[in-house]
Amino acid sequence: MTRPIRVAIIGSGPSGIYAADALAAQEDVAVSVDIIDRLPSPFGLVRYGVAPDHLSIRSVRDTLDKVLDLANVRFIGNVEVGRDLSLPDLRRFYDAIVLTYGASRDRSLGIPGEDLTGSIAATDFVNWYTGHPDTPPDAFAEFLSTATQVAIIGVGNVAVDVTRILVKAPGEIDHTDMPQHVFDALRASTVTDVHIIGRRGPAQATWTTKELRELGELEEAEVIIESDADASDAASQSAMATGKVVARNVAVIEEWSQRPPRDTRRRIHLHFRRRPREISGDVGVEQITLERTQIDEDGRAHGTGDLSTLAVDAVIRSVGYRGTPVDGIPFDDTRNVIPNAEGRVIDGGSPIPGVYVAGWIKRGPTGIIGTNKKDAVQTVGHLLTDAADANFRTAAQPEESAVDAFLASVTVVDVPGWRRIDSAERALGATRGRDRTTLHDRAQLLDAASGVTPD
Ligand code: NAP
């Protein structure tokens, strides 16, 4: 009897788990799937991206978690490809590799002052408030204990998430699973004003209406429309006529512009048609220079030369995520994705046998969590088609356990280890009346995985 095909999925975010599910759920080809992640915990951006106060979106983890219980699926956490396992190692142990490691870095603005103290990548701030083990607990202590005026560049859903977390009242976040040091720092935060800056108009913003609306429903913060929210230009009208979400977004902002002012502790200022030109300050961020833009009929922004400055203590750059290469696999430096044809990785015009991609590293950082399901199913479909080829089984090692022996010196977190982390986080949360409190420290996570109770 031929052995099952062995597939390694690199990255346990939604696209990785959906790929594992699609492989394990079908009955045409016997498969054995290992999901490898450099972190001790699974679920990628569901754990370290989705805002902690978006409980219903975060609850998708319960669905993803069920995949880890499937008999032919294993989780191999705390194992980093490039450090603990190389690409040639993977080729030795597996017939196919599906790269689903996402896009975890921030895109650059490419303007002077971007590296000043107080200029913060949204990706880092999101990592901090979700308890990512690579972000030190005190990473934003100075920012949150001194800044009052904060600019956020970009008008996507991440900008909305970051704004909400910055301005919400303690009572609005108290029920979430954020680590305790995050609650403490946010509760004591000095931030009073958040300026969200879009380089185009409200009809070109990439946020979604439900998320946008939440900004107008906060206990301690009101929304103030500062500049150029007009959507009467041809490009905006056309975008509103063809896109329901665009029309709804513009309507929300129009409604806000007519609201009577509230006397709130915090304010969210919306600035449209302003592109960042420079971040400046003697030691750290003191101001941002903005240039007024005009939108052409294709919806593109053009500078007008009309400059203004905004005095701010910090700038959060929320201009999108960026994928990074992995050794030995081709990379498209322009789109920051791995070149592929519907998930088959392409090198020099031809597919590399046995190497696939799914999720953000396949198509770029767009879409909602569910988008990754369709995307992963497409990739797995091609993998299974290819598996019909007699030469598909290539792994030199006949035994599934060969990879385990290879990783003997690494502290691997398996499914039972993850379950112990999960229980430890729930137990910690219960001590504070919450469903869960995220363990943020890698050593604590590994202790919990091995059954040591966290302090
Ligand atoms: P995004 O939606 O691509 O937004 C990036 C924003 O940055 C855009 O407004 C973009 O403006 C702006 N930008 C890019 N380069 C710029 C520059 N040089 N100067 C000024 N502005 C610039 O990305 P995101 O907010 O990081 O979100 C990533 C993905 O995750 C999206 O698909 C998002 O919907 C999803 N997400 C969803 C949720 C949710 O469903 N609740 C939450 C978080 C994230 P232009 O359009 O002009 O380029």
pLDDT score recorded for residue 105: 92
Residue 395 scores a pLDDT above 90: no
What span, in angstroms and rounded, lies between the C-alpha atoms of 407 and 43?
22
**According to the model, what pLDDT value does residue 455 have?**
66
For range 194-217, the mean pLDDT: 97
Among 304-313, 331-340, 399-408, 428-437, where is mean pLDDT lowest?
399-408
pLDDT given for residue 45 in this prediction? 96
CA–centroid distance, 321 to ligand 1, in Å, is 8
| CA-to-CA separations, 301 to 59, 99, 225, 304, 348, in angstroms, rounded | 38, 35, 19, 9, 35
Question: To 5 degrees, how large is the angle CA 331–CA 334–CA 339?
Answer: 35
Q: What is the pLDDT of residues 76-126, one digit of tens each?
A: 999 999 999 999 999 999 999 999 999 999 999 999 999 999 999 999 999
Q: Which atom of ligand 1 is nearest to the CA of 155?
A: 9
Higher-confidence position of 315 and 396: 315
Q: Is the pLDDT of residue 398 over 80?
A: no
Question: Residue 427 pLDDT more than 70?
Answer: yes
Please name the residue ranges forming H helices in 334-414.
Answer: 360-363, 371-387, 402-406
- Show Cβ contacts of residue 395 under 8 Å, excluding neighbours closer than 6 positions: 6, 91, 92, 93, 94, 95
pTM for this entry: 0.96
Residue 454's pLDDT is what?
Answer: 65
Average pLDDT value for residue range 39-57: 97
- Interval 368-375 mean pLDDT: 95
Share of the chain above pLDDT 70, in %: 99
Calpha distance 121→135 (Å, rounded): 12
Q: What is the DSSP letter of 3?
A: P
* CA gap 202, 215 in Å, rounded: 15
Q: Is the pLDDT of residue 35 over 90?
A: yes
Residue 214: the pLDDT is: 98
Is residue 368's pLDDT more than 70? yes
CA of 126 to the centre of ligand 1 (A): 14
d(CA 12, CA 46): 10
- Over residues 286-311, the mean pLDDT reads 96
- The yes-or-no verdict on residue 355 having pLDDT over 80 is yes
- Whole-angstrom distance, CA of residue 165 vs CA of residue 52: 9
Amino acid at residue number 13: G
CA dist 152 → 26, 91, 99, 189, 412 (Å): 45, 43, 32, 16, 38
User: Which residue of 119, 158, 208 sits with most ligand 1 atoms within 8 Å of its CB, as the best mutation to test the pocket?
Assistant: 158
Residue 60 has pLDDT above 70, yes or no: yes
d(CA 241, CA 231): 12
pLDDT at 1 over 70: no
Give the residue, 151 or 398, on which the prediction is more confident: 151
Give nearest CA residue, ligand 1 atom 3: 320
Instruction: Name all residues whose Cβ lies below 6 A of ligand 1.
Output: 54, 57, 109, 153-159, 161, 198-200, 204-206, 208, 211, 275-276, 318-321, 365-368
Neighbours of 347 (CB within 10 A): 12
Mean pLDDT of the chain: 95
Residues with Cβ within 8 Å of residue 415, at least 6 apart in sequence: 68, 69, 74, 75
- Alpha carbon 112 to its chain's center: 26
Catalogue the long-range contacts made by 348-354 (C-beta closer than 8 Å, 24 or more residues apart). 353/386, 353/391, 353/392, 353/394, 354/91, 354/94, 354/95, 354/96, 354/97, 354/386, 354/392, 354/394
DSSP tally for the chain: helices H, then strands E: 18, 18
Q: Which protein residue's CA is at the shortest distance from atom 32 of ligand 1?
A: 366
Interatomic CA distance for residues 437 and 449, integer angstroms: 15
Q: What is the pLDDT of residue 99?
A: 98
Q: What is the pLDDT of residue 394?
A: 86
